[in-house]
Amino acid sequence: MANKMGAKKPELTELARISDRVTFLYLEHAQLNRQDSAIQVRDAKGIVNIPTAIVSVLMLGPGVDVSHRAMELMGDSGMAVLWVGEQGVRQYAHGRALNHSSLLLEKQAKLVSNTRTRVAVARKMYQMRFPGEDVTKLSMQELRGKEGARVRRVYQDVSKRTNVAWTRREYKPDSFEASTPINQALTAAHQALYGLSYSVVSALGASPGLGFVHTGHDLSFIYDFADLYKAEFSIPVAFEVVATLEDDDDIGRKTRLAMRDKFVESKLLLRMVADLKALLEVSDDEESVAFLSLWDDKLGLQDFGVQYAEVGSDET
């Protein structure tokens, strides 16, 4: 049998945990190939090798050509790969999760499938966003009302602090440049936050589509999860970028760099991992090891890989 060329597939124990990785990397107009255990990025400015095991999410914008071997390495390394539109405004596709365990997914499905526990998680998310208020008895309608008022106040406060005029949130998905500078910055900042949120949710094995507040979309839970951090991260960063914007600045690029710096400075990945486990009621001492079993409604989990004979037969 011929030897397989290239570096061997990494074991899960060899990969960096999601909380220890670089937050995100956005690339456009470049060629991506594999160089041993790194992705080789070639563009008009030169060549750079990126170790895949230390990157949380790779956002691929327009003009990116990716080789099959490069995609194979990204998948083996547990890197979330998002194919996005210009300036990261739209997400088209993604890669496989790092965690092969279904523990968080099963917890999430159980919580979202029961009205009482679903409302409880929604209240918990609101409490995480705006601490200091008692929401234990509020309905979903009341939560939405309080959220709207608090978010409007956040926009007004940061507008006043940065001296950036603010009226309302508006943008056109098909035309990034058609909106105002502050709306462009908010779009870029929110997309960076969505990308990082997706990376954490998928890497830990939860479902991006099983939302508690948002519903009906394959990214419903991503919108839920990212909302926890907008008031602290993407909204103020967007206003600060516009406040210091110069005529020749690329607003999308400047916003992404500012978000990346903010993510690193605040160690947001560590916080996101802890927050996700808290929301889905998974404790740190619960094992999250992938194992494949057979489900039985009466006997419980049964071993996989065993050839079971028909009940009552003479086969052994």
Please indicate, yes or no, whether residues 159 and 240 belong to a single structural domain of this protein.
Answer: yes
pLDDT at 282 over 80: yes
- Report if residue 188 sits inside a domain: yes
The residues, ordered by sequence, that sit 6+ positions from 302 with a Cβ below 8 Å of its Cβ are 293, 294, 295, 296, 308
Query: What does the pLDDT look like over 110-139, one tens digit per residue?
Result: 999 999 999 999 999 999 988 888 888 899
User: In terms of domains, do 204 and 266 share one?
Assistant: yes
| pLDDT on residue 37 | 81
**Domain membership flag for residue 143:** yes
Q: Which amino acid is at 125?
A: M
Q: Does 36 appear as a known binding residue? A: no
Please tell me which residue, 242 or 23, carries the higher pLDDT value.
242
* Region 204-228 average pLDDT: 93
Q: Residue 49: which domain range? A: 12-93
Same domain, 112 and 206: yes
Is residue 306 situated within a structural domain? no
What CATH number does the domain containing 40 carry? Answer: 3.100.10.20
Residue 314 falls inside a structural domain: no
Q: Is residue 6, in this structure, part of any structural domain at all? A: no
Question: For the range 65-71, what are the long-range contacts, defined as Cβ-Cβ under 8 Å and sequence gap of 24 or more?
Answer: 65/30, 65/31, 65/32, 66/32, 67/32, 67/33, 67/34, 69/6, 69/33, 69/34, 70/32, 70/33, 70/34, 70/39, 70/40, 71/95
Residues 6+ apart with CB under 8 A from 247: none
Q: Is the pLDDT of residue 66 over 70?
A: yes
Average pLDDT over residues 86-92: 56
What per-residue confidence (pLDDT) applies to 12? 42
Is 295 contained in some domain?
A: no
Domain boundary pick from 65, 93, 121: 93
Give the Cα separation of 266 and 191 in Å (integer): 18
Is the domain of 86 the same as that of 107? Answer: no
247 is in an annotated binding site: no
Count of the separate structural domains present in the chain: 2
Same domain, residue pair 154 and 248: yes
Domain-ending residue, one of 58, 93, 128: 93
Shared domain check, 258 and 110? yes
pLDDT digit string, tens, across residues 1-40? 444 444 454 454 444 454 556 567 788 899 999 988 888 9
> Bigger pLDDT: 48 or 283?
48
53 and 31 fall within a common domain: yes
Q: What is the mean pLDDT of the chain?
A: 82
**Sequence-separated (6 or more) residues with CB below 8 Å from residue 244:** none
**Between 59 and 311, residue with greater pLDDT:** 59
Q: Please check whether residues 49 and 185 belong to one and the same domain.
A: no
**165 class by beta-carbon count within 10 Å (0-12 exposed, 13-18 middle, 19+ buried):** exposed
Please indicate, yes or no, if residue 302 is contained in any of the structural domains.
Answer: no
Cβ atoms within 10 Å of 142's Cβ, excluding its own:
13
Residue type, 142: E
Last residue of some domain: 43, 67, 93?
93
**Beta-carbon contacts of residue 165 (< 8 Å; ≥ 6 apart):** 159, 182
- Tell me what pLDDT residue 6 has: 47
Q: pLDDT tens for residues 150-194?
A: 999 999 999 999 999 998 888 766 666 778 899 999 999 998 899
Are 65 and 39 contained in the same domain? yes
In a domain, 288, yes or no: no
Higher pLDDT: 230 or 87? It is 230
> What pLDDT is attached to residue 312?
58
Same domain, 164 and 205: yes
Are 205 and 64 found together in one domain?
A: no
Provide the CATH number for the domain around residue 122.
1.20.120.920
Supply the angle between the helices 220-227 and 181-203 in degrees, to the nearest 10: 110
Provide the whole-model pTM. Answer: 0.70
4, amino acid identity: K
CA distance 112 to 208: 12
Ligand-binding annotation for 227, yes or no, is: yes
Question: Over the range 4-14, which residues count as b (16 or more CB within 10 Å of their CB) and which as e?
Answer: eeeeeeeeeee
Q: Are 255 and 237 in contact (CB under 8 A)?
A: yes
Question: Are 156 and 57 part of one and the same domain?
Answer: no
End-to-end CA, the chain:
36
pLDDT confidence of residue 285: 66
